[in-house]
Amino acid sequence: MQKHLDFKLYLDAATQSVTRTRNNIYLLLTLFVAIFAVYINTTVLDWSGARVQKMRAAYECISDPESVSDPSKLMKPKCLGAMSYANELGLPQDPSPQAAELYKEYRDALIRRRTDLRTIQLPLFGAVLDLNDLGILSAVLFVILLVILRTNLYHEFDSLKNAQRKAEEFRQEGASALYAESNEILSSVQVLASPRKDNRGFRWSAMVVMSLPIVLHALILWHDIDTRKIAVLLVGGSKSRPLLLIEAIGLVLLCLLWYSNAKVWLKLAYLFDKKPPKWVRHFLSRKIHESSQA
């Protein structure tokens, strides 16, 4: 009875470690979605910028003196799309000073809105960052979360390994059925590193989540490098180059942390597998094979 209670304590500790790792991965995924949404909406799908451009073109067309004297000028190709967009907003289509003033108000409001959207307010701290600091923000936050994930993965591995050793005492006492049941319970505790053969597809979900921050930060870094001339014009080369260097260092650290986390995660994924694949044993320098035989 005492051994059952001791094993339960080890099982509870392992369950808590797995929960911490799972929550860490969920937080990492949430942060990825938030930064990805900001990146997409300011680069690939710059909706606010497109609205400003359309309204600016519509204002230029409707305030053009030629359009006031000849409204058919609004049907020119350069004005047709902009005026159609203004029509969807319910703005007047007849050139007049009053209409031009209304278009100007809409344009200025969209410009102010776009300026507001290009700032990032950090929750809890209340600090406001410019959108051009997204690369540094992603590097710092992703590195911190991956470092914490590395710690949680190691704690999870140690907790499961200790519980596995405790279950080994049942086998040594001849309770083979209890030993098999204990190992099955321990293997089912792992959700993101399930050793079950019928769950191998989901097994790799944790690796995908750990890889997403690297891909996203690489895209942000590439965009910042591609637009570095604008940064030089805004703040000068003496300030923009160190910022790019920090982002590049962040990418290197993310890759190193990914490699470190991948090794620990593979230990977890094949902890209860007596015969892991050869490539896994080679990748881990046979540490998994040694631990599985312990």
Regarding whether 208 and 87 lie in a shared domain, the answer is no
Q: Does one domain contain both 103 and 213?
A: no
Same-domain status, 30 and 62: no
In a domain, 124, yes or no: no
Contacts of 274 (CB under 8 A, 6+ apart): 292, 293
pLDDT digits (tens, 9 = 90+) for 7-62: 778 888 888 888 888 888 889 999 899 889 888 887 777 788 888 888 998 888 88
pLDDT of residue 121: 64
Same domain membership, residue 169 and residue 80: no
Extract the residue ranges of the chain whose pLDDT is less than 50: 1, 286, 288-294
Separation between Cα atoms, residue 267 and residue 33, nearest integer Å:
28
Indicate if 170 and 275 belong to the same structural domain.
yes
Strand blocks (E) in the chain: 119-121, 128-130
pLDDT value of position 200:
52
CA-closest candidate to residue 192, choices 184, 208, 203, 183: 203
Task: Provide the residue range defining the domain that includes 102.
Answer: 47-117
Which two three-digit tokens encode residue 77? Answer: 């190709």
Q: Is residue 154 part of a domain?
A: yes
Query: Residue 203 has what pLDDT?
Result: 60
Residue 30 forms part of a structural domain: yes
- Please give the structure tokens belonging to residue 126: 């209340």
Q: Are residues 195 and 96 in the same domain?
A: no
The domain tally of the chain equals: 2
**Torsion of Cα atoms, 198 then 204 then 206 then 207, to 10°:** 170
How far from 135 is each of 30, 139, 283, 290, CA to CA, in Å? Answer: 17, 6, 31, 41
Q: Are residues 168 and 249 in the same domain?
A: yes
**What does the block give as tokens for 183?**
């190992």
Residues 252, 140 share a domain = yes
What is the per-residue pLDDT for 256? 95
Question: Quick one: 168 and 236 in the same domain?
Answer: yes
